[in-house]
Amino acid sequence: MVEYRDWYRTQYWSEREGQQIRYIVIHDTEGPRDAALNWWTSPNNPYKSSAHDLIDSSGVVWHCVPYDKAAHHVGGSYIPGYNQLDPKTGRYEPNANLVTIGIELEYPAAPASPPWPQAQIDAAVEHVRELVRTYNIPKANVLRHMDVDPKNRSDPRNLDWEAFLNRVFPVVEQDLERALRHSAWNAGGVPYNPESAFASYAREHGLGNPETPEFDFTFDGQAYRGQGFSKAIIYVRAGQWDQIKEVPW
């Protein structure tokens, strides 16, 4: 059982501006728990930084910012498929804080790199598993700070990320999920192709269930492939399979 404590003392958060929670970003504190908590209430903190939760080295989860607010933890980050660089402001828009839950793991500052305490990792696995179920977040959307800001960040350091993710999303459950998805698509009359970029795109972007099979069409001499999901039609030009675009119905 994970031990939770409420510590809603930081004022450093913003509204989510109507955006849904779609990602979790894991950090490490690079210093003791209390130094991080003090920083999130310090008037000298120029970034007004914060996180939703801090999991200390003993495995206690400190709730610091309510999930319906945007904590300030990835303001400068780039999440492919969500935001892009705005040449006018030089910032990634929309702000990654709006769609993420930020979780800090207490860990000493570099260059110290001790093994992670088992109790802390166990608590983090259980807590993140609870969050991905509550907010229906796929494995691909659980990220490290270093994944979304690789130039400036290397946290969480020294963490076996693949092992962590595989505990949050147990393999048996992934297999069951895949089998269930396959059957559900077929029951809905749409053949399911697990390799399809459309299926994973629709899942990651919350586009709802498939309304049509994949279909090919031609426009202005160019070949395209498309598929309708309940919230949008998505399509791609033949050969540019990673550049999926969305249009409303």
Residues within the interface to Zn ion (CB under 5 A): 27, 145, 155
C-alpha span between 27 and 152 (Å, rounded): 13
Which structure tokens are listed for 126?
């259980």
Nearer to Zn ion (CB atom), residue 147 or residue 204: 147
CB burial of residue 78 (10 Å; 0-12, 13-18, 19+)? middle
Nearer to Zn ion (CB atom), residue 53 or residue 155: 155
What is the closest distance, in whole angstroms, from the C-beta atom of residue 25 to Zn ion in the complex? 8
Which structure tokens are listed for 61?
């989860």
CB under 8 Å to 220, separation ≥6 — which residues?
Answer: none
What is the closest distance, in whole angstroms, from the C-beta atom of residue 36 to Zn ion in the complex? 11
Nearer to Zn ion (CB atom), residue 47 or residue 217: 47
Nearer to Zn ion (CB atom), residue 120 or residue 227: 120
What is the closest distance, in whole angstroms, from the C-beta atom of residue 95 to Zn ion in the complex? 15
What is the closest distance, in whole angstroms, from the C-beta atom of residue 196 to Zn ion in the complex? 33
C-alpha span between 218 and 235 (Å, rounded): 11
What is the closest distance, in whole angstroms, from the C-beta atom of residue 30 to Zn ion in the complex? 8
What is the closest distance, in whole angstroms, from the C-beta atom of residue 11 to Zn ion in the complex? 20
Which structure tokens are listed for 35?
């130094």
Nearer to Zn ion (CB atom), residue 54 or residue 234: 54
Q: What is the 3-state composition of the chain as percent helix, strand, coil, each rounded to the nearest 5?
A: 30, 25, 50
Is residue 27 within 8 A of residue 42, CB to CB? The reply is: no
CB under 8 Å to 216, separation ≥6 — which residues?
Answer: 223, 224, 225, 226
The residues facing 223 across adjacent strands are 218
What is the closest distance, in whole angstroms, from the C-beta atom of residue 225 to Zn ion in the complex? 38
CB burial of residue 108 (10 Å; 0-12, 13-18, 19+)? middle
Nearer to Zn ion (CB atom), residue 131 or residue 236: 131
Nearer to Zn ion (CB atom), residue 106 or residue 155: 155
